[in-house]
Amino acid sequence: MTDPKAIQPSELDQLPDRDPEETAEWQASLDAVTKAAGPHRAAYLMRRTLERAEGNGIALPKLLETDYVNTIPTAAEPVVDGDEAMEHRITAWNRWNAAAMVTRGSKHGVGGHIATFASAAWLYETGFNHFFRGKEGDGSGDQLYIQGHASPGIYARAFLDGRLNEGHLDNFRRESGGNGLPSYPHPRRLPWLWEFPTVSMGLGPLSAIYQARFNRYLTSRSIKDVSASHVWAFLGDGEMDEPESTAALALASREGLDNLTFVINCNLQRLDGPVRANFKIVQELEAQFRGAGWNVIKTLWGTAWDELFQLDTTGALVRRLREVPDAQVQTYQTRDAAYIRADFFGKDPALAEMAKLLSDDKILECFHLSRGGHESRKVYAAYRAALAHKGAPTVILAQTVKGFTLGEGFASKNANHQMKKLTVDEFKQMRDLLELPIKDSDFVDGVVPYGHPGADSPEVRYLQERRAALGGPAPARRTQPLAALPAPADKTFTSFDKGSGSQNVATTMAFVRLVKDLVRDKETGKRWVPIVPDEARTFGMESLFPSLGIYSPKGQTYEPVDRDQLMYYKEAKDGQILNEGITEAGSMADFIAASTSYSTHGEAMIPFYIFYSMFGWQRTADQMWQLGDQLGRGFLVGATAGRTTLTGEGLQHADGHSPVIAATNPAALSYDPAFAYEVAVIVKDGLRRMYGEAAPGEDPNVFYYLTVYNEPIPQPAKPAGSGVDIDEGIVKGLYRFNTAESAGLSPAANAPRIQLLGSGTAIHWALKAQRLLAEEWGVAADVWSATSWTELRRDALEADAALLRGEERVPYVRQVLQGAEGPVLAVSDYMRQVPDQIAQWVEQDYSSLGADGFGLSDTRDAARRYFGVDAESIVVAALAQLARRGEVKATAVKEARERYGL
């Protein structure tokens, strides 16, 4: 068996050497310069020579490109370790059932994609039969990021090996009955099969890189040795247009992630047409990946091309392949031999002479059928070489034909991504091409049959034996619950109950202090994964640098400029902090990998990702959805939150809407705590639910979003009374912080009364308004802390749903406000849509204030006056609400406006 690492550069060149002695003289000259003047001088001369060649019009590949040929020629391919004929039969069954599943589903109008898997079948089958490690062996197995549109082929394989039945296939894209299959890879819908949701294009490659990186992190920190795990990401060439697809290429090469392989299915088509119609996507990607430091393997041509390359004594064929644009290659796929002779070979006299030696059948075999991505031995060689390469990640650029084996109506047609079915005649042609034992009589009433060779057939036994040798089924996801993590000591959380006295403490500071205590816990401290996108000092986290260290695979190879300071910048191979630089997308990819480690690796990790709240949900909400899809657990922390708290930064930094976006994600539990003790209660409950003992009916596969503020204010003590009731209110979303009486305001017995609901930093304005209302207007106000408008709304929606089922249930928000006198006025540092989430379930008269519109640069007081949410604005709004009810004079509203300058 040939070792791919032993292949010499000369062997990788398809061009024949017509004068070996002259070549040796050039090489000797280069060696002499290198020896006499050093490698830098030699490199200089090489660059200048290449520039002269380009200036003289000599066609040479660019420095980052190689010729449009296979990286591993036929002579260097290793022998496939398996029964190729058997694997061809297995692949044929899978091709058939994938197409049958989508075609049968089209009768129900649910659609599906046929052409993608048809092009990529061998890219998957070769991996399943020889490379992809399952989870039943040692370690964690491999992580597979399956291209979303190829899911029918994966279902077809699961059907062949007995993990799915015909009923499942017939419910492809019809999930409501409980026995269906989701359209695409989706762990929340099919948790035993899918690990990674990938159909939101671009997120798969980004996540795969950070998953490979997180694997190294787990190993380096001695959490679990997952060095044997390999990450495989299957991507489309059109998908590489997404900026997320290539956003982290440099990270992967910089950290030497040779546990990562990208397999890009270069069928030259995106959804509407050619990927690079006038150019060559393979060459572009090669340059991009080589430039980023990746190992690049091109698998472009099948063995039928060997004869053509042997006839290419002048290099004319290689030159022609390099210059033909992708759209023309696609056209050749659909045209006859005469057209190809004229358009491809007829452009060069040497090629025209070569074409005379080729039969029409040979030309059609090469241009219609023979692609590297459609031959198991070509793919096998590429995968072997990828695993053998050390020190850098590998990308395999495999050329295929979209719609391959589906017939002339599909192959390379621009519209094939939207084509959802084959006719009976087309299926019969496909059957004959694949040599499947399916009879015409099996097509009953025009319905295409599923095909299966039998549970005890040689094909199924072979498939199962191969998977058993590789560690069990794939893809697969662990679903067995882990043992609950021990809860940290109560004192860690209750230390915030006494408040901060006269010390000013922002809730951001309170959260960081809490985490500092939690990471010291002997049982669970090491499982915390702090993630921050180059803003740790903004959030007061620099004290964690020397104690936890910042993860770096190289450790710290330099002396930090602040080494003599207490909180110096410390990097370490076993560092706990992931400081990602200026990349919210990369930080979210980190978070997703860490938050799903409980399933991927059987190791529960507790990530918290802290970020400018404006640059979280607004910028990376698609990844937050991916996080929910993947059943991730952890804490997202939107710091410097609110529209008016970040002084001087202006509208681009002023977040007035992240809770609105968060509310759209069913897996996100969104909280806007006002006080330090609320932060502690919420984090404690999150640890219990996600990592401890979830209550009956609670889904542990959620994540928490906390908005915290950079406004230092004295933190109050937790109100006296039943701590259980207050904690329950904090978790459920609402509790009464004080009354006019408990605040010492001594209202008159018959004073008008109003209920002020505030969240986050807005509660401080409500408390000031409470005092103004009492002292200047004789109005009694009770103040409530609304820790989560969203959770209150969800509870109310569940009550409504229960009512439809005939069950009587009162929403929590209505329960706690029952009997509260007067109207309700809600206020937050967000747009009014945030508190208005609960309006329809509040029995009292309800109104709200919020910071709608764009932000602006100014002081906090000025910004709050501008948006009409400061204490004085609350007073005027409260008086207006009471005036409409006839409980205060209408003139009081006008007087208040004038007094406060509104």
Span 838-892, pLDDT tens digits: 999 999 999 999 999 998 898 999 999 999 999 999 999 999 999 999 999 999 9
**Cβ contact 537:501 at 8 Å:** no
**Cβ contact 460:177 at 8 Å:** no
Q: Which of 157, 166, 218, 229 is nearest to 193 (CA)?
A: 157
> Which pLDDT belongs to residue 145?
98
Give the residue ranges of DSSP H helices in 702-788.
Answer: 723-732, 762-777
Q: Are strands 780-785 and 735-738 parallel, antiparallel or unpaired?
A: antiparallel
Q: Above pLDDT 70, what percent of the chain? A: 97
Q: Give the whole-angstrom CA distance, residue 194 versus residue 474.
A: 9
> Which pLDDT belongs to residue 2?
42
pLDDT tens figures, 410-469: 765 665 566 667 889 999 999 999 999 999 999 998 899 999 999 999 999 999 999 999
Give the residue ranges of DSSP H helices in 483-639.
Answer: 490-494, 507-518, 544-548, 584-595, 597-600, 617-629
Instruction: Give residue 849's identity as a one-letter amino acid code.
Output: L
> Cα torsion at 80, 85, 87, 91 (round to 10°)?
130
CA distances from 649 to 55, 148, 645, 762, 855 (A): 50, 40, 10, 19, 9
> Which pLDDT belongs to residue 14?
64
Q: Give the whole-angstrom CA distance, residue 346 versus residue 289.
A: 33
Q: Which of 510, 564, 560, 518 is nearest to 539 (CA)?
A: 510
Q: How would residue 723 be classed by pLDDT, with cut points 50, 70 and 90? A: low
- Element of type H or E holding 606: strand 606-612
> Which pLDDT belongs to residue 416?
58
Q: Is 388 helix (H, G, I), strand (E, B) or coil?
A: helix
pLDDT tens figures, 127-176: 999 999 999 988 899 999 999 999 999 999 999 999 999 999 999 999 88
Q: Give the whole-angstrom CA distance, residue 706 versus residue 683.
A: 9
> Which pLDDT belongs to residue 712?
93
Q: What is the DSSP letter of 443?
A: -
**Neighbouring-strand partners of residue 635:** 608, 704
CA distances from 414 to 30, 235, 264, 273, 521 (A): 48, 19, 19, 5, 59
Q: Give the whole-angstrom CA distance, residue 481 versus residue 649.
A: 45
Mean pLDDT of the chain: 93
Burial 718-741 (b: 16+ CB within 10 A, else e): bbeeeeeebbebbbbbbbbbbbbe
Q: Half-sphere exposure (CA, 13 Å, Cβ side) for 332?
A: 24
- Element of type H or E holding 826: strand 824-827
User: What are the phi and psi torsion angles at 496 (to 5°)?
Assistant: -90, -10
Q: Counting beta carbons within 10 angstroms of the beta carbon of residue 836, is it exposed (0 to 12), middle (13 to 18) or buried (19 or more)? A: middle
Residue 721 has pLDDT above 70, yes or no: no
pLDDT tens figures, 167-193: 999 999 998 877 899 999 999 999 999
Q: Which of 448, 886, 512 is nearest to 706 (CA)?
A: 512
Q: Are strands 504-505 and 713-714 parallel, antiparallel or unpaired?
A: antiparallel
**Cβ contact 840:691 at 8 Å:** no
> Which pLDDT belongs to residue 417?
65
User: What are the phi and psi torsion angles at 473 (to 5°)?
Assistant: -60, 155
**Cβ contact 419:114 at 8 Å:** yes
Residue 113 has pLDDT above 90, yes or no: no
Q: Is 397 helix (H, G, I), strand (E, B) or coil?
A: strand
CA distances from 22 to 9, 27, 28, 51 (A): 17, 9, 10, 21
Q: Are strands 713-714 and 753-758 parallel, antiparallel or unpaired?
A: unpaired
> Which pLDDT belongs to residue 11?
44
Q: How would residue 6 be classed by pLDDT, with cut points 50, 70 and 90? A: very low
> Which pLDDT belongs to residue 160?
97
Length of the chain: 902
Residue 610 has pLDDT above 60, yes or no: yes
Q: How would residue 46 be classed by pLDDT, with cut points 50, 70 and 90? A: confident
Q: Which of 627, 330, 677 is nearest to 495 (CA)?
A: 677
Here the tokens at position 51 are 């520039």
Q: Is 770 helix (H, G, I), strand (E, B) or coil?
A: helix
Q: How would residue 293 be classed by pLDDT, with cut points 50, 70 and 90? A: very high
What's the average model confidence in pLDDT over 799-809? 94
Residue 13 has pLDDT above 80, yes or no: no
